[in-house]
Amino acid sequence: MKLLQVGMLKSFLLPILLLHSLVRPAAATASACDEWDLLQREIRDGTIVSDQAFGKIVELDGRLRKEYSEKIDDRPFSFPVKGYGPDCIGGSEGSGYQPEGYDFYDGNRHRGHPAHDLFINDPEETGFDASTDYPAEIVAFSSGVVVAVNRSWEYPSQVRGGIYIWIFSPADQRYCYYAHLARTLVAPGDVVKAGDPIGLLGRSGKNAWPKRSPTHLHFMCLSFDEGRMTPVNTYPELRQPGGD
């Protein structure tokens, strides 16, 4: 009797299972953000040739502009380290920005320093802001969409940026990079406005981890520039008053 019942149940369920397999939705294709995230890892680690990476960057930029240009407003810039301002920019009058020799497609082997280091009050180099005893909050410099995130880093990894975030801003065709974080608060595909929290500052990264390095945010912006990914000196914008 039990065998008969099992047989009847199978005969009843089989058509339903077959129908379900026919109407099951196809797996979603990877978004442009997910593909950009994967591509930047390949560029970073040197597992893709430059010409192929260049072509893919151009393709993905077109897709990102098409999908997000109408969705993201153009708000005033915000200083990337909450509670700080231009006085924390490293160097003299922005001299820390040294783009000579930089090539995005060199990945982790790139030369130059096409960025500004923004230092926090951390004399003991613990990774915590001495005035709050908590990691400094990092906010979006400009409105955009998150296109890449590296969520973890452990010594002795050679990844220079450690835990980092890339954000694409359609309004100015820039890709902004926030490195040496302790934690990320966003994921690829997240749309953020200037001033929105995106991470907490830390000391992750090959050159930020050692005690000789003061705790800082490595902040870089690249112009798409028809795929060339050209460094932009954001010093004048970082100096603008009135940021959040």
| Alpha-carbon Rg for the chain in angstroms | 23
User: Over 60: is that where the pLDDT of 6 sits?
Assistant: no
Domains and CATH numbers, the chain: 32-238 (2.70.70.10)
Average pLDDT, stretch 168-185? Answer: 97
Percent of the chain with pLDDT over 90: 83
Reported confidence tier of residue 20, pLDDT bands at 50, 70, 90: very low
For residue 240, the model assigns a pLDDT of 85
Residue 81 in contact with residue 136, Cβ under 8 Å? yes
Q: Which residues touch 153 (CB under 8 Å, ≥6 apart)?
A: 159, 162, 163, 204, 205
pLDDT tens-digit map of 70-127: 989 888 899 999 999 999 999 999 999 999 999 999 999 999 999 999 999 999 999 9
Residue 52: closest CA among 44, 65, 43: 43
User: Over 50: is that where the pLDDT of 53 sits?
Assistant: yes
Reported confidence tier of residue 29, pLDDT bands at 50, 70, 90: low
Percent of the chain with pLDDT over 70: 86
For residue 1, the model assigns a pLDDT of 42
Cα–Cα distances (Å) from 222 to 100, 104, 115, in that order, read 14, 9, 9
User: Over 80: is that where the pLDDT of 141 sits?
Assistant: yes
For residue 100, the model assigns a pLDDT of 97
DSSP state of 234: -
For residue 73, the model assigns a pLDDT of 83
**What token pair was written down for 162?**
């450690």
pLDDT tens-digit map of 186-214: 999 999 999 999 999 999 999 999 998 99
Who has greater pLDDT, 13 or 103?
103
Provide the 10 A C-beta neighbour count for residue 237: 16
User: Over 60: is that where the pLDDT of 155 sits?
Assistant: yes
Tell me which of 11-20, 70-79, 164-173, 233-242 is least confident: 11-20
Reported confidence tier of residue 4, pLDDT bands at 50, 70, 90: very low
Burial (CB count <10 Å: 0-12, 13-18, 19+), residue 152: exposed
Average pLDDT, stretch 206-226? Answer: 96
Distance CA 146, CA 175 (A): 9
pLDDT tens-digit map of 118-133: 999 999 999 999 999 9
Burial (CB count <10 Å: 0-12, 13-18, 19+), residue 123: exposed
**Stated pTM of the model:** 0.87
For residue 8, the model assigns a pLDDT of 38
For residue 243, the model assigns a pLDDT of 47
